[in-house]
């Protein structure tokens, strides 16, 4: 049963009416407003990301026990509501090994991040004919993962590890849960982001084709459409996707705190491991802006000549 909570609705400041409005249950519609995604006839994957950042651009405090986004957002229930909403509509959620290490007990489902609205997320998934949890994908080039963690062992979500051939050999030394699948790709310390997407789309398409009981991608009116792929980080992985112009949209919660940085503290920004400006600046278009108390919920689209979609 959904817990009783006091949750004021977001205030819509800007909404460009692009895409198709999803059939939101009444309570989610009141709390969030309209949520539009690309039209069902879109044949390629739609890749989007969601992060929370401080005013000064910090996305993790990089302090043991305080690495997660909750310390950045102030554990905002409105931020958790939006995170759950995006997971509810995603067919795939991708995280890196560092994100898993920061929250090792987590499973990337809507009810795991916002249990207070679990019933509402289930109603939304029913309305879009999504019958399976999102495929959780963990990217780890070295394969240094503990397969006893809940995301692998609890059986709550279908799980895919994208790794290198060496990483796959290392993983197979452990007792792997039956639900775990491993995609072993060429590479050393870094896996090309387009190869990650290829592996994820192949795996997701196989789930879709396996029958009605595995039809998370075969939603009503979407049988020919590509999957919705949500990238939840971390900043290094997100930087790789942006570098190859593989991100369609960025959802960004701007939290009203100044976290600060010192040269040696390693606090990451939204994108790490690559630079764009001034030689190759990457500009977004603001699609949506909402206010929740003192937080801003922003949505940007990104385009570029180097886009490679499938």
Instruction: Please give the chain's pLDDT, 310 residues, in tens.
Output: 445 567 999 999 999 988 999 999 999 999 999 999 987 656 789 999 999 999 999 999 999 889 899 999 999 999 999 999 999 999 999 999 999 999 999 999 999 999 999 999 999 999 999 999 999 999 999 999 999 999 999 999 999 999 999 999 999 999 988 889 999 998 778 899 999 999 999 988 776 655 433 333 333 334 457 899 999 989 999 999 999 999 999 999 999 999 999 988 999 999 999 999 999 999 999 999 999 999 999 999 996 444 443 4
The 3-state secondary structure of 109-177 reads CHHHHCHHHHHHHHHHHHHCCCCCCCEEEEECCCCCCCCCCHHHHCCCCCEEEEEEHHHHHHHCCCCCC
Per-residue confidence (pLDDT) for residue 41, from 0 to 100: 58
At 90, list the tokens.
Answer: 């995603």
Per-residue confidence (pLDDT) for residue 223, from 0 to 100: 41
Q: What does each C-alpha distance from 121 to 6, 35, 103, 299 come to in angstroms?
A: 17, 13, 22, 20
Distance of CA 278 to the CA centre of its chain: 28
Dihedral angle of Cα 87, 112, 146, 241, to the nearest 10 degrees: 20
- Give the pTM: 0.90
**In the block, which residue shows the tokens 């942006």?**
242
| Rounded CA separation 251/121 (Å) | 18
| Rounded CA separation 268/57 (Å) | 8
Greatest Cα-to-Cα distance within the chain, rounded to the nearest angstrom: 53
At 87, list the tokens.
Answer: 């997971």
Per-residue confidence (pLDDT) for residue 139, from 0 to 100: 97
Per-residue confidence (pLDDT) for residue 270, from 0 to 100: 96
Per-residue confidence (pLDDT) for residue 83, from 0 to 100: 98
Q: What CATH architecture applies to the domain 46-260+267-276+291-302?
A: 3-Layer(aba) Sandwich (3.40)
Domain spans in the chain, listed from the N-terminal domain onward: 46-260+267-276+291-302
């Amino acid at each position: 049963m959904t817990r009783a909570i006091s949750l004021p609705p977001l205030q819509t400041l800007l909404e460009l009416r692009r895409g198709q409005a999803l059939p939101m249950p009444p309570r989610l519609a009141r709390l969030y407003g309209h949520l539009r995604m690309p039209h069902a006839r879109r044949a390629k994957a739609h890749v989007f990301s969601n992060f929370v950042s401080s005013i000064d651009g910090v996305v993790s405090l990089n302090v043991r026990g305080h690495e997660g986004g909750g310390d950045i957002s102030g554990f905002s229930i409105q931020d958790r509501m939006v995170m759950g909403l995006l997971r509810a509509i995603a067919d795939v959620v991708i995280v890196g090994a560092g994100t898993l290490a920061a929250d090792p007990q987590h499973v990337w489902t809507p009810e795991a991040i916002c249990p207070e609205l679990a019933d509402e997320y289930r109603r939304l998934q029913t309305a879009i004919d999504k019958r399976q949890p999102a495929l959780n994908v963990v990217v780890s080039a070295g394969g240094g993962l503990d397969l006893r963690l809940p995301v692998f062992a609890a059986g709550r979500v279908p799980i895919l590890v994208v790794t290198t051939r060496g990483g796959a050999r290392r993983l197979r030394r452990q007792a792997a849960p039956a639900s775990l699948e491993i995609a072993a790709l060429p590479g050393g310390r870094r896996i090309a982001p387009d190869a990650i997407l290829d592996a994820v789309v192949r795996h997701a398409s196989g789930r879709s084709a396996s029958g009605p009981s595995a039809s998370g991608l075969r939603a009503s009116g979407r049988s020919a459409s590509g999957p919705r792929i949500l990238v939840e980080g971390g900043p290094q992985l997100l930087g790789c996707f942006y570098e190859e112009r593989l991100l369609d949209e960025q959802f960004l919660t701007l939290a009203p705190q100044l976290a600060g940085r010192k040269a040696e503290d390693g606090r990451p920004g939204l994108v790490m491991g690559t630079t764009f400006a001034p030689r190759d600046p990457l500009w977004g278009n603001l699609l949506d802006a909402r206010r929740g108390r003192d937080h801003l919920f922003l949505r940007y689209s990104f385009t570029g000549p180097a886009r490679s979609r499938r």
